[in-house]
Structure 1
Amino acid sequence: MASQTESLPDALLEALAEKGRVDSYEYATSVGRNHQDVVGAVKSLESFGDILKTEQKQTELWELTEEGKEIAENGSHEVRLFEAVDQSNGTPQNELMSKVPNAKIGFSKAMSNKWLKLDKSSPGPPQVYRNVESVTDTVRKLLCSLKGESGRGELSDENLKEFKKRKLISSIIIKNYIITQGPSFTTSISKKSTELTAEMIQNGSWKNEEFKSYNFNALGAPLATGHLHPLLKVRTEIRQIFLEMGFCEMPTNNFIESSFWNFDALFQPQQHPARDAHDTFFLKDPQFSYDFPTEYLERVKTMHQTGGHGSIGYQYDWKLEEAQKNILRTHTTAVSTRMLYKLGQQVGVVHSNE
């Protein structure tokens, strides 16, 4: 058995040299070590190259439930109930049910095994009598064979099926490794150097060193890149809410706009200071736009000059030439004016039961 202080990888290599093939779980059980420790040793040895070959597989093991442990400790329900029956005169059924733990299960199993017989002919409660002189607690024996052992102990397929149904055992699936010797198998391993140091070059020790291969395709550590500003984060969350509700975003990639949509459609007077060359970038080529919805343009012109709907307008001579000038848009509200006009040309759909 490998001691707790012995190097587990070294002990595993010695076992592999002796046997040629090792099951990681069986080995862990035989040396009294945790299986995960053995798996860790296997992974460590794999880093040394082709020292060993491994094949992963899944193994179904069985362990006692709490009830199974109690039976392994104190005996099965059926045997304990059998022993509680008076050998000569029998015992009233109601008395057995009240004084023996899990009597209902034990009575059912004992009757099924024909260990007991029930007499209902005599006055009073039914009387339980022994039908055999003695019994063997096979259930306890089988459960004890499983307790502390790997695999299935002495349990047959029929036993497993019965005990699983009685919830005395439960299955666990473990991932274990079948380990065999690799092309470069050896029991003497040395840790490979991971870097060439200045000291190695100076004293020449690099000549006798074995270096670990570099993985030049490995990704570097991820960089801590920028993050959204808290206000932009809230904006993004609200945007996503509207999108999930079915709203669509307006196209905002139209960076060149006519003065008509940027200013006039928003009823900004043509003599407004913000429209002069000090605050707005005017284009030289193309200098003007000509494609406007005629009816809408006339309505905008009227509102500027004389007003309407309770307004008197700005009372000035509105010029088309000024509205035709192309600019680098000064705000994205120009997109809103275009979209409102576009949506206004569509017939709205409503649903009503009237």
Structure 2
Amino acid sequence: MEASSSSPSEGEIRQLIEGELLRTLEATGRVPNSLHFANHFQVDHAVVVSVLKKLESHGVINAVVVEVSSTELTKEGLEVVEAGSPEARLFEAIDAASGTLKADTEKLPFGKPGFSEAMKNKWITFDKASGKLMRQARTAMHGTPVWLHDKPPPLPLDGQELTWVVWTCCQASTIDDVVRQKLCGFKNGEALSDKDKLVFSKRKLLRDVKTKVFDLSKGECFSVTGIKKKALDLTAEMIASGAWETETFKEYNFNALGTQPTSGHLHPLLKVRSAFREIFLEMGFEEMPTNSFVESSFWNFDALFQPQQHPARDAHDTFFLSQPASMLTWPEDYLQAREKEEPLRLTTHFLGSAAAGGLGSIGWRYDWKLDEAKKNILRTHTTSVSSRMLYKLGQQKSFTPKKYFSIDRVFRNETLDATHLAEFHQIEGLVADYDLTLADLIGVITQFFQKWGLTQLRFKPAYNPYTEPSMEIFAFHPGLKKWIEIGNSGMFRPEMLLPMGLDPNIKVLAWGLSLERPTMIRYGVKNIRDLVGHKCSLDFMRTNPICDLQLDDKYDASAFVRPNEQQ
């Protein structure tokens, strides 16, 4: 009974390749093409390369990359080796007795390419009347001379004397698939003539490829026995026995990367937030407390002189709370006039009384409802915090000029897409002082964005319910080659400031922008959902630069250049 033989494992094949390679180098001193070992052991060249890299890393061999040109079978050529040439397969597909419709053969994958070659070989004929392909081949038959032509050719057969051969045209049952035979021989290592290579290349059965192989020679530590394992550490036993004097130690690799520490990583959004915060602090701003996401409609809308019928207060833009649905406490003196001679309270301006008209404003002139103002919402902007801070400023006995800023989350009931989320961050800054003008607003905004690196700014008139005048802020983006909106700004209306108790000569400048948009520009993020949310890659947080100066110039703010005059 024969013992069952199993094929060698991958590890055993590597050992065989290594042994054969070392013996060959010992005998010849050089192997010009490592691909020969892959062909010899019938393995992928990558297996041989892994053996070479191992030997080279230990100094056993020297391996130099060289590029060699070779010819190999294409996918179509391999198909010919397996199943036959298209013309031969077409010949076999034709019914020997009655033929086959040409339209039926064209449905076969080899029908069209096989037709032209089979016709060229005169293996088939096409009957236009019936639309059929018929088998045909010239067959030589040895026998009694029959005069089918005027001058039948004499041919020697079987070493006999010349005799007449009957030439007739008949249907053949077999053909000789020479193409398959030659390609099978080529696959097994037989050479092809230049003419055959040219023909088969035109038929896309062969292709020329350039392969990177290795030219091998003996290394500094060459040994036919292979790799001698180097000691990693100097041990006490080596010192005691003296073995360390003859021992070979592994060299230190000072270029090796250390183990990545298992530490946390700052999100890019937090890095940009810190950068903006530093800018505000450098400019002397104080940070406002923004730790309350839930806000009343009063501070979010009404205190900003925003009418209750404004579309932004509808459910499709605002998240309303169900529990608690209304705020529990509110400043009553802020809501209504305390004395007849002190009519400049918030309700006065909304109702549009004669007293309000004396300030150059007739108010919104509608029936203001306290219940609507008491509704709790998720704040739609951090300007609600600004309104609280300005109210506190108005209650002070003596006014002190202030500069405030905030960077925190806001919430909008919007449709999610590549540039919009229901939750995002708002950056806001405001300056309160006597007799400020629009020029002061442009100046402080320009200074703020210049510190961020945006030097090319434009301002466009805009409308906001609580600022007049108002401006949109645009910056030139060199990557997009166009102007993009980066923020909004304005001067708070007197109808908003006077009810808070601020002097009529006190003006408040304010501007705001989102945190996500400059972060996307800075880090080259095209979809906001890749920056914030469950689709944000943890690897993105680990690999983004620690220092903003290392970012590519394409997204670096310093790359903003002077734009063309045309917008």
Alignment of 1:93-172 (within 5 A): 94=101, 97=104, 102-118=110-126, 120=128, 124-125=130-131, 128=134, 130-133=136-139, 136-147=176-187, 154-156=191-193, 159-160=196-197, 162-163=199-200, 166=203, 168=205
Correspondent of 1:180 among 211, 217, 220: 217
Which residue of structure 2 lines up, in the alignment, with residue 345 of structure 1? 440
The residue type paired with residue 183 of structure 2 is L
Correspondent of 1:15 among 18, 24, 36: 24
Q: CA deviation at 1:239?
A: 5.2
Change in CA separation of 1:186 and 1:309 when aligned onto 2, cut-off 3 Å: same
Gaps of 5+ in 1: 264-305
CA distance in 1, matches of 2:54, 2:247: 20
User: CA offsets, 1:98-136, max 9 Å, x none?
Assistant: 59963443222111234444455xx65567462533853
* Structure holding more helix per residue: 1
Gaps of 5+ in 2: 1-7, 140-173, 289-340, 347-393, 407-427, 443-458, 464-567
Which residue of structure 1 lines up, in the alignment, with residue 502 of structure 2? none
CA distance in 2, matches of 1:95, 1:202: 90
Change in CA separation of 1:115 and 1:235 when aligned onto 2, cut-off 3 Å: closer
Matched, 1:191 2:229: yes
CA distance in 1, matches of 2:51, 2:86: 44
TM-score (norm 1): 0.58
CA distance in 2, matches of 1:127, 1:315: 104
Which residue of structure 2 lines up, in the alignment, with residue 280 of structure 1? none
Alignment of 1:309-320 (within 5 A): 310=345, 318=398
The alignment covers a number of residue pairs equal to 277
CA contact (8 A) 2:404 2:429 kept: no
The residue type paired with residue 431 of structure 2 is R
Change in CA separation of 1:62 and 1:98 when aligned onto 2, cut-off 3 Å: closer
Change in CA separation of 1:45 and 1:308 when aligned onto 2, cut-off 3 Å: farther
Tell me, what secondary structure is at the counterpart of 2:213? Answer: strand
The residue type paired with residue 109 of structure 1 is E
Correspondent of 1:254 among 282, 285, 288: 282
Tell me, what secondary structure is at the counterpart of 2:461? Answer: coil
Correspondent of 2:429 among 333, 336, 345: 336
The residue type paired with residue 187 of structure 1 is V
Alignment of 1:48-63 (within 5 A): 48-49=58-59, 51-59=60-68, 60=70, 62-63=72-73
CA distance in 2, matches of 1:33, 1:220: 35
CA contact (8 A) 1:16 1:181 kept: yes
Change in CA separation of 1:32 and 1:344 when aligned onto 2, cut-off 3 Å: same
* Structure holding more strand per residue: 2
Matched, 1:200 2:238: yes
CA contact (8 A) 1:9 1:44 kept: no
Change in CA separation of 1:86 and 1:40 when aligned onto 2, cut-off 3 Å: closer
User: CA offsets, 1:230-251, max 9 Å, x none?
Assistant: xxx49539959xx9xxxx8782
Which residue of structure 2 lines up, in the alignment, with residue 236 of structure 1? 270
CA distance in 2, matches of 1:172, 1:142: 20
Change in CA separation of 1:96 and 1:68 when aligned onto 2, cut-off 3 Å: farther
Q: Which has the higher contact order (CA 8 A, sep 6+)?
A: 1
The residue type paired with residue 213 of structure 2 is N
The residue type paired with residue 101 of structure 2 is N
CA contact (8 A) 1:82 1:116 kept: yes
Tell me, what secondary structure is at the counterpart of 1:107? Answer: helix
Q: CA deviation at 1:171?
A: 6.8
Which residue of structure 2 lines up, in the alignment, with residue 38 of structure 1? 48
Change in CA separation of 1:109 and 1:250 when aligned onto 2, cut-off 3 Å: same
TM-score (norm 2): 0.39
CA contact (8 A) 2:62 2:218 kept: yes
Which residue of structure 2 lines up, in the alignment, with residue 71 of structure 1? 80
Change in CA separation of 1:27 and 1:5 when aligned onto 2, cut-off 3 Å: closer
Change in CA separation of 1:14 and 1:132 when aligned onto 2, cut-off 3 Å: same
Change in CA separation of 1:113 and 1:208 when aligned onto 2, cut-off 3 Å: same
The residue type paired with residue 262 of structure 2 is A
Which residue of structure 1 lines up, in the alignment, with residue 494 of structure 2? none
The residue type paired with residue 138 of structure 2 is V
Q: CA deviation at 1:178?
A: 1.6
Tell me, what secondary structure is at the counterpart of 2:62? Answer: strand
Change in CA separation of 1:163 and 1:198 when aligned onto 2, cut-off 3 Å: same
CA distance in 2, matches of 1:136, 1:315: 108
CA distance in 1, matches of 2:83, 2:180: 8
